[in-house]
């Protein structure tokens, strides 16, 4: 958030069409002070979500050995039975965003017709990128393009019943190196491009519109006012906010677990520290402590500064890989991969009649559920830093700029790894474990120890900014939309995120993390689809900037 106070942010500049309601922000809250610690919480939302999460943590820790298979079966059932639903929902969000860009609704300005942006483009983009998918790009930037390339190159395989058993996207590209590279990169970009950012953009825009223009609390339930009216202040709204908190917490825990796994792998590579759950848990604890310090410092001093530092480090690492890697292949590959993505997009986004079940269920369904479970967190964070933008500017920037950055990142890191394997015969990168592929790729380039150390720092700081931003968002939802709440409340949520990540690591590792992201992403996908309808109704009544 900017230096503006909560009241300044919620006061519109210019013309708006506010919603007339008697509801006051925080009217259902309970304020407590226990020694130096203060709390200002929405009693029902906080209690139900908090108790549900604590019960989950207790059961997972108490029955660690038994929970692993449960999580594995849960993830398999959800992705195999609901892949069509996740793919369809993702397409709806992209189409909704494209309609907003070209329609007259794009002229609506968040905060009123005369509102000015609180942040310049540099700081805004840094926060969008770092909060949105920093850990994921570090973890999957090398491994995913390489995996899709290899599976596409191997072609298709079927069992005795004629059902495909391979993991290749679409129909594969057996024996054709260039076609496999194009297909592998387009499948990767599909997972990191327009679709995830459209999911974020729809919810972020709804939150910003109903808070800054309609005068409602900055919480998920407010987006549904055009459909449910005053019922959003009752149990209809409570359920929506509780779902948002649970989805956000497990989406964040998935990312924190993945970040810990990669940081652990990097430390093992550089300093021969032991691999395994113990190291990952220690990392979660240490980095959660760092996130708590950042939370206490506030958004301007904490998240904004860390995001900008990380963006600079990520940019330097990206430039290094482009400069010392296959430079020409990366630069030409950026446009080639973008073309391949657009060419394969209709087939990759098709929800029905797919033969590549392992790819759609094992990759796409998981990703869409993961992005959806992240959407309350990323959406609210984007809303908090986007006042003053027009809808057209907001959607264009949130959708296209991070997508383009993701394409460049995947092309540079994944493209370099593929080039090392195909043209240099460098097999370490394909033999490495998932969490080590980034470091294996960097090992094939000069200054490997320095760049690997930078890679670990990037993972850790992305980890911190995600936890930091997430605790701000969880804090706001659990406080009924109040922004000015005691710092100890944010510390509670930052600590809780770390605890859930630890429980999931102990209860089944990466499979458990993915299972919870998918299972919380499904109900919240339904919430998001309804929110999209409500968003259009809300925008239709707003005055438009000239």
pLDDT, tens digit only, all 546 positions of the chain: 444 555 666 788 889 999 999 888 888 888 888 777 788 899 899 999 989 988 888 888 888 888 878 888 888 888 888 999 999 999 999 999 999 999 999 999 999 999 999 888 887 877 776 655 667 788 899 999 999 999 999 999 999 888 899 999 999 999 999 999 999 999 999 999 999 999 999 999 999 999 999 999 889 999 999 999 999 999 999 999 999 999 888 888 888 888 888 889 889 888 888 988 899 999 999 988 888 887 777 655 656 677 778 778 888 999 999 999 999 999 999 999 999 999 999 999 999 999 999 999 989 998 999 899 889 888 887 888 899 999 999 999 999 888 888 999 999 999 999 999 999 999 999 999 888 899 999 999 999 999 999 999 888 888 787 787 788 888 889 998 887 788 888 888 888 888 888 888 888 776 777 788 788 888 999 999 999 999 999 999 999 876
Hunting for tokens 């904004």 — which residue is that?
A: 304
Hunting for tokens 């969880």 — which residue is that?
A: 474
- Alpha-carbon torsion 515, 195, 329, 442, what sign? negative
Whole-angstrom distance, CA of residue 27 vs CA of residue 25:
6
Whole-angstrom distance, CA of residue 329 vs CA of residue 237:
51
Strand-pairing partners, residue 32, are 39
Task: Find out whether 141 and 428 touch, Cβ atoms under 8 Å.
Answer: no
Whole-angstrom distance, CA of residue 46 vs CA of residue 203:
21
Predicted confidence at residue 129, as pLDDT, reads 67
| Run of H or E residues at 37 | strand 37-42
Predicted confidence at residue 404, as pLDDT, reads 87
For residue 90, give the nearest of 337, 363, 380, 355 by alpha carbon: 363
Predicted confidence at residue 231, as pLDDT, reads 95
Helices (H), ranges, 155-272: 177-192, 194-208, 225-228, 235-271
Burial class (CB in 10 A: 0-12, 13-18, 19+), 512: buried
Task: Find out whether 286 and 264 touch, Cβ atoms under 8 Å.
Answer: no
- Alpha-carbon torsion 366, 91, 136, 297, what sign? negative
For residue 1, give the nearest of 404, 444, 403, 485 by alpha carbon: 485
Whole-angstrom distance, CA of residue 216 vs CA of residue 504:
35
Whole-angstrom distance, CA of residue 311 vs CA of residue 134:
9
Whole-angstrom distance, CA of residue 78 vs CA of residue 365:
9
Q: Tell me the residue length of the chain.
A: 546
Structure tokens at 111: 């905060």
Task: Find out whether 172 and 185 touch, Cβ atoms under 8 Å.
Answer: no
Strand-pairing partners, residue 390, are 109
Hunting for tokens 């006042």 — which residue is that?
A: 387
For residue 532, give the nearest of 395, 360, 402 by alpha carbon: 395
* CB atoms closer than 10 angstroms to residue 122: 10
For residue 164, give the nearest of 150, 151, 175, 178 by alpha carbon: 151
Task: Find out whether 284 and 502 touch, Cβ atoms under 8 Å.
Answer: yes
Q: What is the pTM of this model?
A: 0.91
**Residue 273 DSSP label:** P
Whole-angstrom distance, CA of residue 312 vs CA of residue 325:
19
Whole-angstrom distance, CA of residue 150 vs CA of residue 165:
15
Q: What's the gap between Cα 348 and its chain centre? A: 20
**Residue 119 DSSP label:** S
Predicted confidence at residue 321, as pLDDT, reads 97
Quote the radius of gyration of the chain (alpha carbons, Å).
22
Backbone angles phi, psi at 30, to 5 degrees: -115, 125
Q: What's the gap between Cα 393 and its chain centre? A: 21
Predicted confidence at residue 464, as pLDDT, reads 82
Phi-psi region of 175 (alpha: psi -120 to 50; beta: other; left: phi over 0): left
Predicted confidence at residue 304, as pLDDT, reads 67
Predicted confidence at residue 14, as pLDDT, reads 87
Predicted confidence at residue 2, as pLDDT, reads 47
SS3 of 199, please? helix
């Amino acid at each position: 958030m900017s230096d503006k106070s909560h009241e300044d942010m919620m006061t519109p500049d210019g013309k708006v069409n506010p919603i007339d309601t008697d509801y006051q922000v925080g009217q259902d809250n309970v304020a407590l002070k226990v020694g130096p610690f203060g709390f200002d919480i929405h009693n029902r939302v906080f209690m139900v979500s908090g108790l549900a999460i604590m019960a989950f943590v207790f059961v997972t820790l108490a029955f660690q050995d038994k929970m692993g298979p449960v999580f594995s079966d849960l993830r398999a059932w959800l992705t195999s039975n609901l892949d069509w639903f996740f793919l369809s929902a993702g397409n709806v969000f992209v189409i909704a965003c494209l309609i907003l860009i070209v329609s007259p609704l794009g002229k609506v300005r968040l905060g009123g017709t005369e509102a000015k942006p609180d942040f310049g483009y540099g700081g805004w983009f840094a926060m969008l990128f770092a909060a949105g998918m920093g850990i994921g790009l570090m973890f999957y930037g090398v491994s995913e393009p390489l995996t899709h390339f290899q599976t596409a190159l191997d072609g298709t395989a079927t069992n005795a019943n004629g059902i495909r058993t391979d993991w290749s996207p679409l129909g594969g590209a057996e024996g054709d190196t260039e076609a496999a590279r194009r297909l592998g990169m387009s499948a990767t970009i599909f997972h990191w491009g327009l679709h995830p950012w459209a999911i974020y953009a729809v919810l972020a825009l709804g939150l910003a519109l109903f808070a800054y223009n309609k005068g409602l609390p900055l919480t998920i339930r407010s987006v549904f006012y055009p459909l449910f009216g005053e019922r959003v202040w009752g149990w209809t709204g409570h359920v929506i906010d509780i779902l948002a908190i649970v989805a956000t917490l497990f989406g964040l825990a998935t990312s924190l677990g993945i970040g810990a796994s990669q940081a652990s792998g990097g430390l093992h590579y550089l300093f021969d520290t032991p691999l395994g759950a113990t190291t990952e848990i220690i990392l979660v604890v240490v980095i959660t402590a760092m996130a708590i310090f950042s939370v206490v410092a506030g958004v301007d001093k904490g998240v904004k500064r860390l995001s900008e530092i990380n963006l600079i480090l990520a940019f330097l690492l990206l430039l290094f890989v482009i400069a010392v890697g296959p430079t020409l292949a990366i630069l030409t590959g950026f446009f080639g991969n973008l073309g391949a993505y657009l060419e394969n997009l209709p087939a990759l986004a098709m929800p029905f009649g797919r033969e590549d079940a392992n790819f759609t269920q094992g990759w796409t369904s998981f990703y869409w559920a993961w992005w959806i479970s992240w959407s309350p967190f990323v959406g609210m964070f984007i809303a908090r830093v986007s006042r003053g933008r027009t809808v057209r500017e907001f959607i264009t920037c949130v959708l296209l700029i991070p997508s383009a950055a993701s394409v460049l990142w995947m092309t540079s890191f994944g493209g370099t790894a593929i080039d090392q394997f195909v043209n240099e015969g460098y097999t370490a990168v394909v033999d490495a474990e998932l969490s080590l592929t980034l470091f294996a790729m960097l090992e094939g380039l000069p200054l490997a120890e320095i760049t690997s150390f930078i890679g670990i720092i990037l993972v850790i700081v992305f980890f911190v900014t995600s936890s930091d931003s997430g605790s701000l968002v969880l804090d706001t939802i659990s406080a009924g939309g109040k922004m000015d709440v005691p710092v100890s409340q944010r510390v509670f949520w930052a600590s809780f995120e770390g605890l859930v990540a630890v429980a999931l690591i102990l209860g089944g590792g990466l499979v458990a993390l993915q299972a919870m992201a998918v299972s919380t992403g499904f109900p919240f996908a339904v919430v998001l689809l309804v929110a999209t309808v409500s968003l259009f109704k809300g925008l239709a009544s707003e005055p438009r900037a000239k």
